[in-house]
Amino acid sequence: MRHRTVSGRIRYTSCKPGMEGQERGREWFAFTHHADGSTIMRARCEIEEPEPTILRDIIYHIAPGMVPQHLHVHLTLGDQFLGSGWLRHDPVAGIIECESFGPAIGRVSQRRVIGSAFDGFGTHPVVGDGYLSKIMDVATGLHRRTLRVFLPSADHRGAEPPLIAEVSIALEYVGDEERTVGAGTFACRHFRFVDDEGDGMGGKTHPPYDIWVTADDDAVLVCGAVDGYMMNRYELVELNR
């Protein structure tokens, strides 16, 4: 086989008062890097706190050059089926299509003309946030860039039936740091998402969100931190490559 696989597990913890260090969820992920330069990201996420619980399954295909192709989402909320959907990007026609189903929305078909290119699909697994940082040109030095992202839900937890949502969010390249986590010690690039580009993500401002990703082409999320009303931490505890 000519493809290469990178897989692992991320632990979600809380730093809310009275919950410091408690595990609140987890994420299993795998990236399949193909010989033609395309990548398929798979992720399974379990979020136990805050309730209602979320179980998310993701498959995301990215073409060479970080061009988003299609995204499949399946969601369970409070142990009940919430919805599933498939988003497809046609870069030639400049459109995004969505086929979705859920008990609250029924069967929905969407087609949106988006015109110019965008930076990626927002998938909600934190490894997807880390991999999105590959669109930053770190060779230009420390800088900030506004990202155009389409998501299956602009809700901060992604806890809505999949439908097309567009957000603008800033991503800052902060610098290079070494980080030690459960999976080992890694040379990392430090980035920060800042939600100050408009009306907020999903109509609500997302707190600043710092991530550290491996300083190589795999861009695996090593750790992350978001404060504000969320007070969450993310740590890579297993890595296989």
What domains does the chain contain, in order, with CATH numbers?
A: 4-240 (2.40.360)
| CA–CA dist 206, 196 (Å, integer) | 9
pLDDT at 97 > cutoff 80: yes
Alpha helices in the chain (DSSP H): 126-132
Is the pLDDT confidence value at 7 over 90? yes
Name the nearest CA neighbour of 220 among 181, 170, 193. 181
Residue 75 sits at the vertex; the CA angle it makes with 72 and 76, to the nearest 5 degrees, is 160
Place of tokens 């880390």: 130
Q: Residue 156 above 90 pLDDT?
A: no
**Per-residue pLDDT for 199 more than 80?**
no
Angle 204-99-45 (CA atoms, 0-180°, nearest 5)? 55
Give which of 108, 116, 110 is closest to 96, Cα–Cα: 110
Length of the chain: 241
Report the C-alpha gap between 85 and 162 in whole angstroms. Answer: 5
87 in helix, strand or coil? strand
- Under DSSP, the state recorded for 128 is H
Q: Could you give the CA distance from residue 38 to residue 33 in angstroms, rounded to a whole number?
A: 6
Average pLDDT over residues 2-25: 95
| Burial (Cβ within 10 Å: 0-12, 13-18, ≥19) of residue 94 | middle
Is 212 within 8 Å of 220 (Cβ atoms)?
no
Mean pLDDT of the chain: 95
What's the pLDDT at 204? 79
DSSP label at 175? E
- Give the pLDDT of residue 229: 87
pLDDT value at 154 more than 90: no
Q: What's the half-sphere exposure (Cβ side, CA atoms, 13 Å) at 39?
A: 23
Give 39-83 pLDDT, tens digit per residue.
Answer: 999 999 999 998 999 999 999 999 999 999 999 999 999 999 999
